Amino acid sequence: NAGVMQNPRHLVRRRGQEARLRCSPMKGHSHVYWYRQLPEEGLKFMVYLQKENIIDESGMPKERFSAEFPKEGPSILRIQQVVRGDSAAYFCASSAGTGRNQPQHFGDGTRLSIL
Amino acid sequence: SQELEQSPQSLIVQEGKNLTINCTSSKTLYGLYWYKQKYGEGLIFLMMLQKGGEEKSHEKITAKLDEKKQQSSLHITASQPSHAGIYLCGADSNTGNQFYFGTGTSLTVIP
């Protein structure tokens, strides 16, 4: 199955630690999106990347959060100095082309818990 | 930013019944998508609607787009327990760089 792969599925961190979430897009997809789903809330767009470029990061918190999609390897969402409020499910999606009218295909998510 | 309001928020139906979920956008729609999410899992892409009046079907699920009203509806015929989950509509931003999700509709189908 060449779907969107996210790992780890579950991640537990203590406050102040760093969290790294990985996403490998579907084969042939070069566009990656990250979303956050807080408990009892909907999915919120965070960032849109293409290979080696951040296209739109308007949904990313200004501090502690960063994302990259290197030429080789998976896309990484990095959260530094995690706080309790970062506990959420983080979903990655990929598409074959530019955002509009291109369906995004989602991974199963990474559930981040902050102790 | 674009807001997508879904109704109803939750729905409980008896197996075999038909149901409709609505999605209304606060802004012009540039493409409307329907996804399904089961608890603890990722989203499954159901359908994409691009043009006003467009209607698509997948098995017992039909979706329509009314571009003028900035609305879409998802209709399930003869619902089954396997249809249970959270249905989400989604839309592209006018730049195509961002994507917005609706508030979600939780569907429970009672056998």
For every residue of chain B, DSSP letters joined together read ---EEEE-SEEEEETT--EEEEEEESS--S-EEEEEE-TTS-EEEEEEE-STT-EEEETTEEEEEETTTTEEEEEESS--GGG-EEEEEEEE-TTSS-EEE---EEEEEE-
* Range list of β-strands (E), A4-87: 5-7, 10-13, 19-24, 31-37, 43-50, 53-56, 65-68, 75-79
Length of chain B equals 111
* Residue A100: predicted pLDDT: 61
Minimum mean pLDDT among A37-41, A85-89, B102-106: which range? Answer: A37-41
* Residue A35: predicted pLDDT: 96
Chain B nearest-CA distance from A102, in A, is: 8
What is the gyration radius of the CA atoms in chain B, in angstroms? 13
How far apart are alpha carbons B66 and A85 in whole angstroms?
A: 38
Query: Closest to A103 (Cβ–Cβ): which among B45, B96, B98?
Result: B45
Cis peptide preceding A8, ω within 30 of 0: yes
**pLDDT tens digits for B2-12?**
689 999 999 99
**pLDDT tens digits for B30-65?**
789 999 998 778 899 999 998 778 888 888 999 999
How far apart are alpha carbons B25 and B69 in whole angstroms?
A: 8
* Residue B90: predicted pLDDT: 93
pLDDT-derived band at A98, boundaries 50, 70, 90? low
* Residue A113: predicted pLDDT: 96
Classify residue A94 by its DSSP letter: E
State the average pLDDT over residues A13-41.
93
Residues 53-112 (A) with a CB less than 8 A from some CB of B: 55-56, 58-59, 91, 93, 98-101, 103-109, 111
B67 inside 8 A of chain A by CB: no
State the average pLDDT over residues A92-107.
83
State the average pLDDT over residues B95-108.
88
